[in-house]
Each structure stands twice: as C-alpha cells, then as structure tokens.
Structure 1
C-alpha cells in the first residue's frame, strides 16, 4: 500500500525494489521473497530485503524490539552494505 506521505516510485525505482524483494532476508537469511524496508521513507534505493519477522515482527522486527538485529549485530547500514554488494557483485 502506498503511503500518502511519499511520492510514487519511478520506473527505475520500482525495478530496484522488485530486485530487493526477490532477495533473501538481509538479517536472518530467510529465503525470499522478502519485504522492502526503506531506511528513509521515499528513499527507494536504500531499501533492505527483510522477511516479515525481521521487518514487522514485534520482537525481532526493525519496527519492534529488534532482538534478532541485536543478537546478530546488524543495523540498517550493515544490511544496506550487504544488499548493495549482493546486487552489484552476485
């Protein structure tokens, strides 16, 4: 669902998001497809591939208590780095 607070993605941005969603979770490695989490709302090229639990889970999710993120010593920047590396050099 598109938020009213951000512009619609361009064709190029939609293609990037589609690639990100095909990836395995950038935190726990759960097999894709994943959800795309934007580090900054509307900044589509900083989207991270996250499984539903690592994205929206109340205990493990980035929007929750981030327990799995803490245990695995991950943050948004480290997952973005891994995402770019996998997209560019996989």
Structure 2
C-alpha cells in the first residue's frame, strides 16, 4: 500500500517495479513473483526483489529479525547487486 506522503511512481518507475516483481528473491532465490522493496522510500530504481518471508517475515525478514539475511551475510546493498545483475542479464 502506498503511503499518503509518497509520490506515485512514474510510468518508467512502474515498468521497473513490474520487472523487479517478476524476479526471484534476491536473498533466498525463491521463485517470483516477489515484493519490490525500496531501499530508500520513493527511490524505485534502487528496489530489491524479495519474497514475503525475506521481506516481512517475523524471523527471517528484513522488517523482522533478519535471520535469512544474517545466515547469508547479506545487507540491502548485496541484495540490490543481485537484483541489478538479474535485470541486466
């Protein structure tokens, strides 16, 4: 759900978001569709493809205890690198 204070994505950003959502998770490689997580709110071109568990999971997720991230020794920039590599391949 879009925050009331955040600008709506442009047409180019919407296309990018859909491409990111089609990717597998950049942390655990679970097949898409994925969530499109913004590293910084409103900056859609630096979004990361994440499955629900790696994104919002209470134990494994970025917005939880980050265990999946710790196991793989990853942070958001590592996941962004995976996402970008998959988009340009």
**Interval containing the TM-score (normalised by the shorter chain):** over 0.9
Q: Confirm whether residue 34 of structure 1 aligns to residue 34 of structure 2.
A: yes
**TM-score, with structure 2 as normaliser:** 0.97
**TM-score, with structure 1 as normaliser:** 0.96
What aligned pairs does 1:1-90 form with structure 2 within 5 A after superposition?
A: 1-88=1-88, 90=89
Paired with 1:5 and 1:64, the residues of 2 have a C-alpha distance of 24
Residues 25-76 of structure 1: CA deviation (Å, up to 9, x unaligned) = 0000101000010000111011100000000000011000000100011110
Paired with 2:82 and 2:51, the residues of 1 have a C-alpha distance of 15
| Paired residues, number | 89
RMSD: 0.6
Return 5+ residue gaps in structure 1 as ranges: none
Return 5+ residue gaps in structure 2 as ranges: none
Structure 1 runs (4+) greater than 3 angstroms displaced = none
